[in-house]
Structure 1
């Protein structure tokens, strides 16, 4: 198999929480090849220095919480490493324990019945928005589940409405103090996983502005100077967001973990992006 892209490798390791061995089995290569690629792409491994008492204190005081905020407080740790340490400290249940719990058993049965739902791929605005959210705070897995866990109920409701627009039947609930949304569609999950060139699709078939809106609802913030920003800890993703904005005639640049929209382009940005949260509006 040819060498996998940095974006795909990062997604498999950090977003799907697969080990290097599991990635190797999925791609048909050896674990050493995966390890070598991660090193070349500068993707952080969870094999790192022992956690200091100060790091543990920070984690105890802030987990569960906003992903971007916690990552900023622990810059030397990958999000996967943070989640694993949180489980070790008793701050969260591991994924298997949660999935086997009685509270989600009924939801899982219902979701399994919904896997065959026809997805309305013609609803490109909602599809593009969901793609942006998935690249931000959302997730999808190999079981066909598409979901989101956030503190802001307005954001969760907006995600639900866009899932419904695609013909899905999302479920909602609470998980560790957050609003949780689940929907199931193996077809949509596979489409999200197999979309090779997001930029081309967004400009040829999708709605690029709606993708940006999904990203901004997930990981955006408004600087006091009036410039909107989209936060990301993935170098490839930051470059992709910058490329999309520039293709939309928005002046922007990358500064550390943010894609900054220039103050001169703020009006154009908010003419096309309608944030769900008031604190992120102009």
Structure 2
């Protein structure tokens, strides 16, 4: 193990006690970040300080939540996200198909705008990208977190979440479509003047097993004037369809296809 001069250690502790981040102390003195962290830990223990990791959780601090990005991230979480909460492992993960690199970037940007301090990582596996943000405070922002699958438990928005969704409904809709939805082109044929002609028309789908999440989606659609119908898969009404021309035009203006 590399040995460092006691004067270097004291200089580091002086900076740390003034609030200089570990990373800056490491860069300034040329000492590994892990060593700086260990010095700070030992110093706190010697001084009897209780350590609380700094954070910028909007629910636990004076930091204001970024409403549009939060509504979008809420949609991603309800569709393709989950939270891991364990003693040494706390993170929010959103999963995106590698076919949509723009969505992967948007998921990371949303996490960073809602809480800027947590570290964010990407992991690619089996054609899927996991965007992961590490913080113990994600359950504060997504109280829908709980054991088991979302469609096996109650999913209801807290009043403060509903206020954000009411203020930014299209961002929630966009997040839900980007996670569990799609824009497709349907086609049909009609007889015109004795000749069968093919017609194509765009359509949006949202598919989710949770009755509660589908209800959140359709309630928000109704609020912005989008008409929808339910298409059952067998006996299960998992599919919400948006096909009327005016409603598709609204969706195109505010959501659009995946990218």
Q: Same fold (TM over 0.5)?
A: yes
Q: Any conservation in 1 of the 2:144–2:156 contact (CA below 8 Å)?
A: no
Unpaired runs of 5+ in structure 2? 1-51, 59-63, 146-154, 186-200, 233-237
Report the alpha carbon displacement of residue 270 of structure 1 after superposing the two structures with TM. 2.0
Name the structure with the higher helix share. Answer: 1
Quote the RMSD (CA, aligned, Å).
Answer: 2.7
Q: Deviations over 1:111-140 (max 9, x none)?
A: xxx974213542111111111001111211
Name the structure with the higher strand share. Answer: 2
CA distance in 2 between counterparts of 1:115 and 1:162 reads 22
User: In the alignment, which of 243, 259, 271 is matched to residue 240 of structure 2?
Assistant: 259
Q: Any conservation in 2 of the 1:129–1:212 contact (CA below 8 Å)?
A: yes
User: In the alignment, which of 222, 240, 251 is matched to residue 216 of structure 2?
Assistant: 240
The reply on whether 1:223 has 2:184 as its aligned counterpart is: yes
The reply on whether 1:271 has 2:257 as its aligned counterpart is: no
Q: Deviations over 1:153-207 (max 9, x none)?
A: 3221110011111214311122334222110222222330259742854552342
Per the alignment, in what secondary structure is the counterpart of residue 57 of structure 2? coil
The aligned counterpart of 1:21 is none
The reply on whether 1:213 has 2:174 as its aligned counterpart is: yes
Greater relative contact order structure (CA < 8 Å, 6+ sep) = 2
TM-score (norm 1): 0.52
> Which structure has the greater CA radius of gyration?
2
The aligned counterpart of 1:119 is 57
Number of residue pairs aligned between Structure 1 and Structure 2: 165
**Off by >4 Å, runs of 4+ in structure 1:** 194-197, 199-203
The aligned counterpart of 2:82 is 139
CA distance in 2 between counterparts of 1:251 and 1:171 reads 38
User: In the alignment, which of 86, 94, 98 is matched to residue 148 of structure 1?
Assistant: 94
Unpaired runs of 5+ in structure 1? 1-113, 278-282
Report the alpha carbon displacement of residue 146 of structure 1 after superposing the two structures with TM. 0.5
The aligned counterpart of 1:204 is 163
